[in-house]
């Protein structure tokens, strides 16, 4: 993206917070209220090149409809001929993953606080017929008060009554057995499994299922092969196995988690029941919206008719600046009430940060940032040389293959009789930075285990072929179904 944008609508763009596949994320200030937001700037040409427009639209549709204290807010979407600007809640505390790596295993009180917030957010998704499908500490971010926000709904799916999902999504370490086995699943139960993995990571500072060899990792997950450390309390020693239950039918549900004694300890009032129940029953008492609106009419809405403002706030008009301004100011005010409840529930002196003392065990997540998302080969060689090696590799492995373009190969492995496809995949090379390339493995046909086995063989051969300059790093594996 060019640097031509200094202002987008009523927002002044400031420093870059990060970069993604489709563009940058910028810190920005809403000029009417002075509130900081994060704006995800997405290049339409790049989105279409990667054939990801449906994924982007799905994430926008989901986030636009959500309003939960532990899910990142999407305030508005600004569409231009070349870019899409997603105006989102600015969450300043970084990823939960980095927090765990930095702190080591957490105390049970702090782990429980994160877990209570996570379960409330996931429950809200499920009540709105959305399954996240990629829950992991990398997709959970922390605000300035160390409260969590669930983010990245790009792999989420909308559920319909009676329908089962069959696509494999997310990260292998957090994937449920039914997902990696390619079986049909209803949806919510795979998020429960991922929450169980996250709870284990919070309490132990490492993952329950971890292995650099993907087939070995899958065997551990499908066999439920993990160890519960003896330093865990009886409460967590009973809850974690119920969440990491291999049989999805027997796996604990969110209503059952809510009744678990370990979950109920020090639970703030707003997390003791589903969010919408609490909001309906208590927010009118805890927070006077009429007085709040009067305050806005005296300040940011100065000169506007009250009935017109109420109509704009209540309406569905997209990108209404009256409504966006109201929601920004309302969220800012509600944070104060929620933080008061959190601090009271955890017996923290008002005004002090709600953070428990960490247990520093010297443990870490056991994986580097590069290796937690991807496995593969990164080379300093030219892209053309890498693609030649890719073609040699798939040919040496006995695959049928065609080169779709200079940087994309489509290949398939047949069973020994040569009639039935074992796995079919597309290998696409992307330049992610100067002298660094990302090879994307997309499954087109076949089951997940066969696909992962084929990926492993290709990676192994590529490592040998590029061994002089190779490093373990970026190969993304995703499902194209």
Q: Is 134 a catalytic residue?
A: yes
Alpha-carbon span 140 to 71, nearest angstrom: 9
Look-up of token digits 């390339």: 437
Q: In what order do the strands lie in the sheet with 400-405?
A: 400-405, 408-414, 421-433, 436-446, 475-479
Residue (of 428, 443, 375) closest to 21 by Cα position:
428
Residue (of 305, 461, 287, 274) closest to 377 by Cα position:
461
Residue (of 17, 69, 31) closest to 324 by Cα position:
31
- Give the rounded distance of the alpha carbon of 88 from its chain centre: 15
**Signed CA dihedral, 13, 154, 63, 116: sign only:** negative
Alpha-carbon span 305 to 302, nearest angstrom: 9
Question: Is residue 357 marked as binding?
Answer: no
Alpha-carbon span 276 to 315, nearest angstrom: 20
Alpha-carbon span 225 to 9, nearest angstrom: 53
- Give the rounded distance of the alpha carbon of 49 from its chain centre: 23
Q: Is 162 left (phi over 0), alpha (psi -120 to 50) or beta?
A: left
Of 4, 79, 134, 191, catalytic: 134
CB contact set of 98 (below 8 Å; sequence gap of 6+): none
Alpha-carbon span 151 to 17, nearest angstrom: 15
- Which residues of 205-262 form beta strands (DSSP E)? none
Beta carbons of 141 and 95 less than 8 angstroms apart? yes
Alpha-carbon span 429 to 383, nearest angstrom: 8
Tokens matching residue 419: 């009639």
Residue 366's SS3 state is: coil
Look-up of token digits 């704006």: 39
- DSSP annotation of 253 reads P
Binding-site residues from annotation for ATP: 40
Q: Would you name the residues annotated as active-site residues?
A: 134
Binding-site residues from annotation: 40
């Amino acid at each position: 993206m060019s640097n031509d944008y200094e202002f987008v609508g009523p927002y002044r763009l400031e420093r870059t917070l990060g970069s993604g596949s489709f563009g940058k994320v910028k810190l920005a200030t809403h000029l009417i209220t002075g509130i900081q937001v994060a704006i995800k700037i997405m290049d339409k040409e790049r989105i279409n090149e990667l054939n990801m427009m449906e994924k982007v639209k799905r994430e926008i549709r989901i986030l636009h409809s959500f309003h939960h204290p532990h899910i990142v807010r999407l305030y508005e979407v600004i569409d231009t001929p070349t870019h899409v600007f997603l105006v989102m809640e600015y969450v300043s505390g970084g990823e939960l993953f980095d927090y765990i790596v930095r702190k080591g295993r957490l105390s049970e009180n702090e782990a429980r606080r994160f877990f209570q917030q996570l379960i409330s957010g996931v429950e809200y998704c499920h009540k709105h017929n959305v399954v996240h499908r990629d829950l992991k500490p990398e997709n959970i971010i922390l605000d300035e008060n160390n409260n969590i926000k669930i983010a990245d709904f790009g792999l989420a799916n909308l559920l319909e009554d009676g329908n089962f999902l069959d696509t494999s999504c997310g990260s292998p370490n957090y994937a449920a057995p039914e997902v990696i086995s390619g079986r049909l699943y209803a949806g919510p139960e795979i998020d429960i499994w991922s929450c169980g993995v996250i709870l284990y990571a919070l309490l132990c500072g490492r993952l329950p299922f971890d292995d650099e060899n993907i087939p070995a990792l899958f065997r551990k997950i499908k066999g439920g092969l993990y160890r519960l450390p003896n330093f865990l309390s009886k409460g967590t020693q009973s809850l974690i196995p119920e969440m990491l239950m291999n049989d999805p039918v027997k796996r604990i549900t969110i209503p059952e988690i809510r009744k678990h004694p370990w979950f109920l300890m020090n639970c703030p009032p707003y997390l003791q029941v589903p969010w919408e129940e609490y909001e309906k029953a208590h927010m009118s008492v805890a927070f006077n919206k009429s007085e709040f609106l009067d305050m806005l009419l005296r300040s940011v809405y100065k000169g506007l008719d009250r009935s017109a403002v109420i109509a704009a706030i209540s309406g569905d008009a997209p990108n209404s600046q009256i409504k966006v301004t109201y929601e920004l100011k309302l969220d800012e005010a509600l944070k104060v009430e929620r933080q008061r409840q959190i601090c009271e529930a955890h017996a923290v002196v008002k005004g002090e940060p709600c953070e428990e003392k960490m247990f520093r065990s010297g443990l870490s997540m056991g994986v580097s940032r590069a290796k937690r998302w991807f496995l593969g080969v990164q080379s300093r060689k030219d892209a053309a040389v890498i693609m030649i090696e890719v073609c040699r590799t798939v040919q040496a492995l006995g695959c049928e293959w065609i080169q779709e373009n200079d940087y994309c190969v489509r290949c398939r492995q047949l069973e020994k009789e040569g009639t039935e496809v074992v796995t079919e995949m597309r290998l696409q090379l992307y330049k992610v930075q100067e002298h660094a390339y990302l090879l994307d493995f997309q499954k087109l046909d076949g089951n997940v285990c066969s696909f992962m086995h084929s990926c492993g063989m290709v990676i192994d051969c590529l490592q040998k072929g590029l061994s002089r300059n190779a490093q373990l790093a970026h190969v993304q594996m995703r499902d194209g179904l």
